[in-house]
């Protein structure tokens, strides 16, 4: 996988951890690729019912490592760095199973964009959240002006992205940026309890509910709609008749059942 991105499976839960605390878990290109690979591995495991994403140290994630992108020419910045980040974050947002994000440290810039892919965010007291990119003369690049607006509302994103507002965990809770605030050091244990609660429920129902909520939110709208339609028709008499007619090289006689 990657020295700075750890994925492990324990029972029905996948644990995905950023492990670059000396750099505040800032993401380089290899870490972005590892996040994409991890999302694919979680989706490929039919035993998984829930996933937890967290970061080691005093920051959840400080965003993209400026050393990785700061000197890229404009076209390479778009073609390689920005698009790679989008692929990884979209794969995490569209995981088949619910994703719980634990913010035991600050989530800034691309770190907040990464946190936003979760279905549930648990923040520890003292954590700060913001989009500081405009202070560097740049714009959010990993859906900060898109997914964050859809999930949290334009007015909140404007305050962060345009004015540089940074919110505490408690302020973020009132604004809907996070779902729960717990005492420092309690984020992981709370996430484990919540993951166990999710894992007890009907896995197919949970996955379909997540998919439909994503569609309602504008996250991967086409695949959930077509997936549900495909599942509905998969066990109909009409499909059985269509397959039989194809094999027999005859015209099908559909019953509407």
User: Active-site positions?
Assistant: 113, 133
Give helix then strand counts, H and E, for the chain: 12, 10
Phi, psi at 102, each rounded to 5° = -105, 120
User: C-alpha 108: how far from its chain's center?
Assistant: 16
Specify the long-range contacts of residues 145-151, CB closer than 8 Å, at least 24 apart: 147/89, 147/93, 147/113, 147/116, 147/117, 147/219, 148/112, 148/113, 148/116, 150/217, 150/218, 150/219, 151/116, 151/217
Structure tokens at 92: 């995490």
């Amino acid at each position: 996988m990657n020295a700075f991105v750890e994925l492990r499976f324990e029972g029905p839960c996948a644990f995905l951890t950023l492990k670059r605390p000396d750099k505040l878990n800032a993401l380089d290109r290899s870490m972005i690729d590892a996040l994409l690979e991890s999302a694919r591995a979680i989706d490929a495991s039919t035993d998984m019912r829930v996933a937890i994403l967290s970061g080691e140290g005093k920051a959840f994630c400080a965003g993209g490592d400026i050393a990785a992108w700061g000197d890229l020419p404009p076209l390479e910045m778009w073609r390689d760095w920005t698009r790679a980040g989008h692929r990884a974050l979209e794969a995490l947002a569209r995981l088949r199973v619910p994703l719980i994000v634990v913010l035991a440290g600050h989530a800034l810039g691309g770190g907040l964009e990464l946190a936003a892919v979760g279905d549930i965010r648990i923040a520890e007291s003292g954590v700060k959240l913001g989009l500081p990119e405009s202070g560097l003369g740049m714009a959010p690049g990993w859906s900060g002006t898109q997914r964050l607006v859809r999930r949290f509302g334009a007015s909140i994103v404007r305050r962060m992205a345009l004015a540089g507002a940074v919110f505490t965990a408690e302020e973020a809770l009132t604004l809907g940026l996070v779902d729960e605030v717990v005492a420092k050091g309690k984020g992981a244990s709370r996430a484990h309890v919540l993951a166990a609660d999710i894992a007890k429920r009907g896995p197919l129902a949970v996955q379909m509910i997540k998919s439909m909520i994503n569609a309602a939110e504008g996250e991967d709208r086409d695949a959930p709609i077509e997936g549900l339609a495909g599942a509905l028709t998969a066990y109909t008499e009409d499909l059985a008749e269509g397959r039989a007619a194809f094999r027999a090289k005859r015209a099908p006689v559909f019953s509407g059942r």
